[in-house]
Amino acid sequence: MKGSPIVDVHAHVTPRRFQEAVLSGRDWHGMTCEDGELDNPKNRWAPERRIEEMDELGVDAQLVSPTDCFYQYDKAPGVTVAIAVECNDEIVEIVRAHPRRFMGLGTLPMQDIGLTVAEMERGMRLGLRGFMIDDHVNGRTYDDPGFEPLWEAAERHHAFLLIHQYGPTTVWHRTPNYFLPNSVGNLVDRTLTFGCLVFGGVMDRHPRLRVCLAHAGGYVPYAVDRMDRGWDAFPKYRGKALDRPSTYLSRFLYDTTAFTDRNLRFLVDAVGVENVILGTDWPAPMAVEDPVRKIRESKVLTDSEREAILRGNVARVLGKAA
Ligand SMILES: [Zn+2]
């Protein structure tokens, strides 16, 4: 796969439609300046300025998604769908203006499954590669059978699903302090989502579903051994899963937001190198710095592993959706 592009699958966009409204003092579907993290100047960069930084970082293309604050699942469904349509249209416009530098993920009005499937079909028709969704929908986790039409539609349309939290994470309810709701909470939420998709039988019912667990899968690689032990010790809690949790590790994809060589190696060993793809969380303050160089110069990866993580795996994963 040498020569295929280096793609950052975890990179966010703050839609210009939102910015123009809130910066001129208006609200945008009920959202205000407070919602957009506009104090981060990179959230206001035009695509051309992003490309300059991508060139500096050695990133050929970004798989861009609206920032998590645009989920807005707790609004009336009609409002959320209006937000999703505008976000998704803007992502499509960015991709069409720079087709070699950007690919797109949209957002969905997840509190209404009918509207969600319709917007998924519309977005995929317009050229999106998939969608970014939260770890839960107003508290409902993905073992809920109500989400079945979403998984069916995602399989049918080869939609790539990036699972990514929005605050407050589960940890916030224990403590809102010390940035723990993000630094720990994001990883806890991702681990719960893995558990709900596996034990809920979603991964068994939908073998072609492509789900990427952002933030390097959270604590999944570490937590799965205890999930296996629970599977062995307490058969009554196996839910709908057909096999031990660790057998599902290779059914998911994981980005490289792992920060250290130690964690990256652990991730690769746990889930298989073929399931790890470059993802940085650009332009968040918590993004991985100089991510391509970090992989290229990593002393814990072989040459073929570096090539797979930077190029080969993402070409395989997104290729089908092209
Ligand atoms: Zn992110």
Hey, where are the domains in the chain?
A: 7-319
Closest CA to 317 of 234, 253, 246, 225: 253
* Residue 283, preceding peptide bond in cis (omega within 30° of 0): yes
**Residue 167: predicted pLDDT:** 85
User: Residues of the chain with pLDDT > 90: what percent?
Assistant: 96
Per-residue pLDDT at 145 exceeds 80 = yes
Tell me, in angstroms, the distance from the centre of ligand 1 to residue 147's CA: 23
- Give the distance, in angstroms, between the CA of residue 266 and the centroid of all CA atoms in the same chain: 20
Average pLDDT over residues 258-281: 98
> What are the structure tokens assigned to 250, written together?
């290779």
Tell me, in angstroms, the distance from the centre of ligand 1 to residue 72's CA: 16
Residue predicted with more confidence, 268 or 34: 268
Per-residue pLDDT at 1 exceeds 70 = no
Tell me, in angstroms, the distance from the centre of ligand 1 to residue 67's CA: 7
Buried b (16+ CB within 10 A) or exposed e, 298-311: beebeeebbbbbbb
Is CATH 3.20.20.140 what the domain over 7-319 is classified as, yes or no?
yes
Q: What type of residue is 252?
A: F
Please, is 190 exposed, middle or buried when counting C-beta atoms within 10 Å of its C-beta (0-12, 13-18, 19+)? buried
Tell me, in angstroms, the distance from the centre of ligand 1 to residue 212's CA: 12
**Is residue 85 within 8 Å of residue 44, measured between CB atoms?**
no
User: Residues of the chain with pLDDT > 70: what percent?
Assistant: 98
Average pLDDT over residues 35-52: 94
**Residue 36: predicted pLDDT:** 86
Angle, nearest 10°, between helix axes 220-233 and 261-271?
40
CA–CA distance, 119 with 106 (Å, rounded to integer): 9
CA–CA distance, 167 with 186 (Å, rounded to integer): 9
CA–CA distance, 171 with 181 (Å, rounded to integer): 5
Confidence category of residue 34, pLDDT binned at 50, 70, 90: confident
pTM: 0.97
Cross-sheet strand order for the sheet of 130-133: 7-13, 61-66, 102-106, 130-133, 160-163, 210-213, 252-255, 276-277
**Is residue 51 within 8 Å of residue 106, measured between CB atoms?**
no
Per-residue pLDDT at 3 exceeds 80 = no
Average pLDDT, the chain: 96
> What are the structure tokens assigned to 288, written together?
């991985």
Tell me, in angstroms, the distance from the centre of ligand 1 to residue 42's CA: 14
Confidence category of residue 2, pLDDT binned at 50, 70, 90: low
246: how many CB neighbours lie within 10 A of its CB? 17
**Is residue 123 within 8 Å of residue 85, measured between CB atoms?**
no
Half-sphere exposure of 300 (CA within 13 A, CB side): 12
Q: What is the pLDDT of residues 71-92, one digit of tens each?
A: 999 999 999 999 999 999 999 9
**Is residue 69 within 8 Å of residue 36, measured between CB atoms?**
yes
Tell me, in angstroms, the distance from the centre of ligand 1 to residue 231's CA: 31
Residue predicted with more confidence, 291 or 3: 291
**Residue 266: predicted pLDDT:** 98
